[in-house]
Amino acid sequence: MARVIVDVMPKPEILDPQGKAVASALPRLGFTQFAAVRQGKRFELEVEGPVDQAVLDAAQQAATTLLSNPVIEDVVAIRVEGDQGGAAQ
Amino acid sequence: MIRIGVITFPGTLDDRDALRAVRVAGAEGVPLWHADKNLHQVDAVILPGGFSYGDYLRAGAIARFAPVMELVIDQAKQGLPVLGICNGFQVLTESHLLPGSMIKNNHRTFICREQALSVENTATAWTNQFTPGQRITIPIKNQDGQFVVSDQQLAELKAEGRIVFRYRGWNPNGSREDIAGVTNQAGNVVGLMPHPEHAVEPGFGPDGAAGPRQGTDGLGFFASVIRHVAGIKQPVAA
């Protein structure tokens, strides 16, 4: 079964409180290499059958209408991933 | 009697307070369900606070697609008065009836306190009983209350006088320009983070000049929409 992966990130100009919370925790664990953290969302849309252009178009539409809010978020990537597990069918 | 609908989504928790506030103000409260496919002839609609569908995706994001919201969005564009409180405000921004959006509070913690506001626009369906610049105090309680808006939309909001409430004394969540509530161009749709329905009865409201828990500043919202609807219902003079 193939998956369409949609990555959504908070817009660069929007404060990302979740990322800031993670960033402030990292040094406490000794991870001092990272200057900043931003936290986004990854959606895995499972597709039965082949991923054709119509499926990708639908994923694009879903990404911009439901999965993200254009006021605060950007859809940064939409890509197809095959099933590495070799499932039956 | 004027009928004001209050929508319950899965997770809404202030619907009963909103219905009670409507009754205290002198109107009939009509419970509406998220799956309703008609609005039961209500004269106005309130989207109360709490949560909706777990707010897993974004606050209000899934509620926006509830069957009853299709009707509310359609009717709001034709002038139906709609008030969104807290999560209800977030549903209205997700519905694109109001500009901007809400993200997590800048201090990343939940807040629950009494909040001073100024009423910046008294021409809306929900604020016509206030005086311009009037200071009111009503409760606020949220984690995702930080109002964000693009530079362009902020300029439009200011030019058109569509900022309805500003936080006074303290900005509780980092909202841009202390904005606590906004309206649409027609003034029939209003959204705000604080909760007027929790400040309508002496003894159960915020502390005020009259004593502890005596504040009833929230009543003005409901009195305003009752007057607005009554005005619309009057026959047009020849």
In a domain, residue B139? The reply is yes
* Of residues B58, B104, B149, nearest to A17 (C-beta): B104
pLDDT digits (tens, 9 = 90+) for B162-191: 999 999 999 999 999 999 999 999 999 999
C-alpha closest to that of B19 among B41, B3, B1, B34: B3
The torsion angles phi and psi of A52, rounded to 5 degrees, stand at -105, -175
Please report which confidence band the pLDDT of residue B233 belongs to, taking 50, 70 and 90 as the band edges: low
Provide CB contacts within 8 A for B73, sequence distance 6+.
Answer: B95, B97
pLDDT of B222 reads 98
Residue written as token pair 């709609």: B82
B101 and A69 within 8 Å at the Cβ level: the answer is: yes
Which CATH fold topology does A2-81 show?
A: Mth169; Chain: A , (3.30.1280)
- Mean pLDDT, rounded, for B128-144: 96
Query: Interior CA angle at B154 toward B150 and B159, to 5°?
Result: 150
ipTM of the complex: 0.77
- Mean pLDDT, rounded, for B75-80: 97
Strand pairing partners for B136? B117
Residue B14's identity, in one-letter code, is D
* Structural domains of chain B, count: 1
B104 and A66 within 8 Å at the Cβ level: the answer is: no
Give the range of the structural domain holding residue B197, as residue numbers without chain letter. 3-233
Chain B residues touching A67 at Cβ < 8 A: 57
pLDDT of B54 reads 82
Say if residue A88's pLDDT is above 80. Answer: no
Chain A residues touching B104 at Cβ < 8 A: 17-18
Sign of the CA dihedral B82, B88, B94, B98?
A: positive
* Of residues B57, B61, B103, nearest to A14 (C-beta): B103
Q: Give the total residue count for chain B.
A: 238
Say if residue A14's pLDDT is above 90. Answer: no
Catalytic positions of B: 86, 195, 197
The torsion angles phi and psi of B201, rounded to 5 degrees, stand at -130, 130
Q: What is the CATH number of the domain that holds B214?
A: 3.40.50.880
pLDDT digits (tens, 9 = 90+) for A21-63: 899 999 999 999 999 999 999 999 999 999 999 999 999 999 9
pLDDT of B234 reads 59
Give the number of other Cβ atoms within 10 Å of residue A28's Cβ.
8
> Alpha-carbon distance B122 to B136, whole Å?
13
DSSP string, A37-53: ----EEEEEEESS---H
> pTM for the complete prediction?
0.90
> Alpha-carbon distance B75 to B145, whole Å?
26
- Cβ neighbourhood burial of B23 (10 Å; 0-12, 13-18, 19+): middle
In a domain, residue B20? The reply is yes
